[in-house]
Amino acid sequence: MRHQETIFAGFGGQGVLFAGQLLAYAGMSEGLHVTWIPSYGPEMRGGTANCTVILSEQEIGAPVVSHPLSAVVFNVPSLAKYEPLVRPNGLLLVNASLIAAQSAREDIRVVYIPASDIATELGNIRIANMVLLGAYIAATDIVSLDAAKAQLDEHLSDRQRKWLQPNMQALDRGAALVR
Amino acid sequence: MSQAVAVPEDMEQVYAYPRSLTQANSHYCPGCVHGIVHRLVAEVIDELGIREKTIGVAPVGCAVLVYNYINTDFVEAAHGRAPAMATGIKRVSPDKIVFTYQGDGDLAAIGTAEIIHAANRGERITTVFINNAIYGMTGGQMAPTTLEGMITTSTPGGRDHLLAGYPMRMSEILAQTAGAVYVAREAALDLAGIRRTKRAIKRAFLAQIHGLGFASVEVLATCPTNWGLDPWAAMQWAKENLGAFYPLDTFKITDEVKALPV
Amino acid sequence: MAKQLLKGNVAFAEAAVRFGLQAYFGYPITPQSEALEHLSGRMLREARVFLQAESEVAAINMVYGAACCGVRVMTSTSGPGFSLMAEGLSYIAGSEIPVVVVNMMRGGPGLGNIQPSQADYFFMTKSAGHGDFHPIVLAPASVQEIIDMMGLAFELAEKYRTLVLIAGDGSLGQMMESAELPPMQPLPALRPNWAVTGADGREPNVITSLYLVAEHLEEVNLRLQAKLADIRQHEVRFVEAQTADAELLLVAYGTSGRICTSVMRQARQKGIKVGLLRPQTLWPFPAQRIGELCEQVRGILVVEMSAGQMLEDVDHAAGGRVPIRFHGRMGGMIPMVDDVLADLQALATSLGLAP
């Protein structure tokens, strides 16, 4: 059964919530049940941002999980918080550009992606979120990269539209590093 | 109770019971001014021919039963909330004429926020505000408009501003709001004053009929029962004391309202 | 309509528009302000009424006024704002006017926080204002359900001329989920005959909750109670899952209810025969069905984001027939599946049902 529970976590402004939303849109476009729930509150402003995305063939019960199957961490505090929580045999995806540390866990798959560096190379450090999402999709295969691209085209805001092609490239670059 | 009397052909009817006033017996105390102002509102509604599209909002206070007397559709608001209710009514019924009838406790104490914001939004409603400087229905306690030194059942030594603050001049405050187009204070304490009060109420309804904005008329009134005076003495006391602190004036009138034929 | 990814707050607001909402009056408060924001543009584009009030006190009284005119009207808020509305809710109940209010509950008491909670259960079901009355209280557990319940809320409010509350929680408001919106419905052309529309060709309509004569007010109350009894008999709604062979029963509503769906699935995998009853109406409460299930199950676990409020209704329904255990989180904390499962396993063990 196709099923994923993923926490995306980083600083506000890193596109953490949008990466999660895009995954939810892609899942929905492939006929999966999806939930996206942000942690909201004081930490929304300037502090850490995270969201939980669940994609499943089955109707979704709890929209939050204490031990996710996957975690995508954008910064150091998020690694510290979520590394210990990932379920055994799960996936930890690390933005290696901003996180020098290596995970000590041996019971999960850890993938290091220099996402911010690749994003800078593509002309906009803020699209590191798409590099990580591309890598995540390649690592989990929960949705197709094409579905994510189609949804990106649909949901990228007008203000960000000029970055559509770099965003697409970012998805590809991230995916290529995992394949 | 008055009865309709056929007018002989060779005579002109110069006086009649207002259609917009019911025939119910009044529950007000002898000498109370509410009955006079109810009648003025009813006469104005008749003269403007708006009874069939008028919706009143009743207050909490002595006039809580105003719907027993003014013969239009009515709703009964919570204490002080009449302007909010009137806002809700007018916004979904812009073709109706909506008025609130409120006392000083209702409008100037518990409902201060609602009246100021309704005025400031320029709600197309009409407010008739009875100021007799006391809480009548609950038994003569201090109102926000109670004068300094006035003895009430909650200011037994007379209102002391160090303890209870100062009387509030609500019309002057409402006149500061950009949405108000007409704010006036009159006194229904003698015949001339009653006629002026009626003109002001008519102007306030006309402002609404023409969709100009918020309009209110404050009416200085008496409370013989809780003031402990007979009706005549109460009227004289009100003229001398309320009149001295609450000047009779038109505090705001826009050119459009001024141009309306009253 | 195709499925869309919708945030709970936007979903219920848009659903209300499509179910014929004619006027909205509200005041911003987290975590439901997206509803007010959505309606601020949406209602005006549809040439309907939207107004941001100066307070929740004013908002509910504007709602009351508009409702007296016989239009579909609502407001939405969260705990502290709902407290301020209690005055208006009582007047609305007393004058038997159809009104819908959404409360996306947040952590309390006091200013509390803006995280999800279910601690307004007592307030909403039993004591939404002074005097004797119960609103109908609907409890959605998903974005789709809050959409569907907006339509139901208006129907019930108008059918019974009563107050209908929707008890959501902050997480439902903030969550995005795939859901389908209804098509746009036409607005009614006429206003009901009890409404204030101007006494044109009829006697004046007076809408009031004031009855100074005790005998009259008692009559009004008896009529109100008869109506509530009718509602209690006909409008109980709940969802049941895997109760046919259940030895244990989970009872939870809203977000806690869907969390318990996950708990039930995992418990079943471990061989624990557990079922779920998720009330969709908190008032009227599915007490009778819970009572019936007490003849079958050996124990109940109630899960809430509160100190145990619905717990009292479950307790009353069970009437001491089976042991009841409670799992509650407060202050904005959400019950986690693993923790609830552990409590369920402990209950099973204590009853000798552990596999």
Domain C4-234 of CATH type 3.30.420.40:
no
Q: Which residues of chain C have pLDDT under 70?
A: 1, 355
How far is Cα C331 from Cα C320, in angstroms, rounded to an integer? 29
In a domain, B19, yes or no: no
Would you tell me which residues 83-142 of chain C have a C-beta closer than 8 angstroms to some C-beta of chain A? 113-115
**Nearest CA to B105 among B65, B147, B59?**
B59
Residues β-bridged to residue A93: A72, A111
Q: What is the largest CA-CA distance in chain A?
A: 43
Contacts of C210 in chain B (CB under 8 A): 64-65, 76
Which of C206, C209, C213, C217 is the best substitution to test chain B (most B C-beta atoms within 10 A)?
Answer: C206
Burial C35-61 (b: 16+ CB within 10 A, else e): bbbbbeebbeebebbbbebbbbbbbbb
C44 and chain B in contact, CB less than 8 A: no
List, as one string, the DSSP characters of C263-298.
HHHHHHHTT--EEEEEESEEES--HHHHHHHHTT-S
Residue with tokens 């013969």: B71
Which pLDDT does position A12 carry in this prediction? 85
Closest CA to A87 of A177, A7, A2, A142: A7
pLDDT of amino acid C200 = 97
The string of pLDDT tens digits covering residues A73-105 is: 999 999 999 999 999 999 999 999 999 999 999
Residue A44 reports pLDDT greater than 50 = no
Asked whether the predicted pLDDT for residue B3 surpasses 70, the reply is: no
Nearest-angstrom CA–CA distance, C274 and C348: 9
Domain count, chain B: 1
Q: Which of A61-70, B5-14, C77-86, C273-282 has the lowest mean pLDDT?
A: B5-14
Does any CB of chain B come closer than 8 Å to the CB of residue C196? yes
Angle at C211 between CA C207 and CA C212, to 5 degrees: 140
CA atoms within 13 Å, Cβ hemisphere of B25: 4
Q: Tell me the pLDDT tens digit for each residue of B173-222.
A: 999 999 999 999 999 999 999 999 999 999 999 999 999 999 999 999 99
Quote the CA–CA distance of B8 and C9 in Å, as a whole number: 69
Q: What is the pLDDT of residue C2?
A: 85
Chain A residues contacting C via beta carbons under 8 Å: 21, 24-25, 28, 33-38, 40-41, 59-67
Put simply, the chain C residues between 200 and 259 with a CB less than 8 A from any chain B CB are 200-201, 204-210
pLDDT score at B203: 98
**Residue A99 CB coordination number (10 Å):** 20
* Residue among C23, C58, C209 whose CB faces B91 most closely: C23
Give pLDDT tens digits for A106-121.
999 999 999 999 999 9
Query: Which pLDDT belongs to residue B1?
Result: 43
Identify the burial level of A116 via C-beta atoms within 10 angstroms of its C-beta, where 0-12 means exposed, 13-18 middle and 19 or more buried.
buried
**Residues of A whose CB is below 8 A from C176:** 21, 24, 34-37
The verdict on residue B93 lying in a domain is yes
Q: Which tens digit of pLDDT belongs to each residue from B241-251? A: 999 999 999 99
Mutation target for A interface from C30, C172, C176, C336: give the one with most A CBs within 10 A: C176
Q: How far is CA A41 from the centre of its chain?
A: 21
pLDDT tens figures, B143-172: 999 999 999 999 999 999 999 999 999 999
The CATH number of the domain holding residue B128 is 3.40.50.970
Is B15 inside any structural domain?
no
- The answer to whether domain C4-234 and domain C238-350 are alike in fold is yes
Query: Are B59 and C208 within 8 A, CB to CB?
Result: no
Which of C63, C95, C209 is closest, CB to CB, to B88? C63
Average pLDDT value over all residues in chain B: 96
Task: Report pLDDT for A39.
Answer: 85
pTM for the predicted model, two decimal places: 0.95
**C194 interfacial to chain B (CB closer than 8 Å):** no
pLDDT at A47: 65
C278 — phi, psi (to 5°)?
A: -115, 105
Sequence ranges of the domains in chain C: 4-234, 238-350
Q: What pLDDT does C278 receive?
A: 98
Which of C24, C75, C196 would best serve as a mutation to test chain B binding (most B beta carbons within 10 A)?
Answer: C196
Q: What is the mean pLDDT of residues A53-82?
A: 96
Q: Tell me, what's the pLDDT at C354? A: 72
Task: Give ipTM to 2 decimals.
Answer: 0.96
* Tokens linked to C199: 């006494």
Q: Does residue B79 sit within a domain?
A: yes
Q: Tell me, what's the pLDDT at C1?
A: 62
Report the interhelical angle of C143-160 vs C8-18 (nearest 10°): 40
**In 3-state terms, what secondary structure has residue A164?**
helix
Res B7: pLDDT: 84
Q: Residue A43 pLDDT more than 50?
A: no
* Domain boundaries along the sequence of chain A: 3-178
- Give B13→chain C minimum CA distance, Å: 25
- Please return the burial class of B47, using the count of CB atoms within 10 Å of its CB with bins 0-12, 13-18 and 19+: middle
CA angle B258-B247-B213, nearest 5°?
35
CATH of domain A3-178: 3.40.920.10
Specify whether the CB–CB gap between B249 and B175 falls below 8 A.
no
Peptide bond connecting A84 to the previous residue in cis, omega within 30 degrees of 0? no
How do beta strands C136-138 and C163-169 pair?
parallel
Written as six digits, the tokens of B136 are 């009548």
> Which structure tokens are listed for B188?
């229904």
Residue B97 backbone phi and psi in degrees, to 5: -105, 120
CB spacing of A37 vs C171 below 8 angstroms: yes
Domain annotation covers residue B188: yes
- Protein fold of C238-350: Rossmann fold (3.40.50)
C109 upstream amide cis, omega within 30 of 0: yes
Range of the domain at B103: 34-258
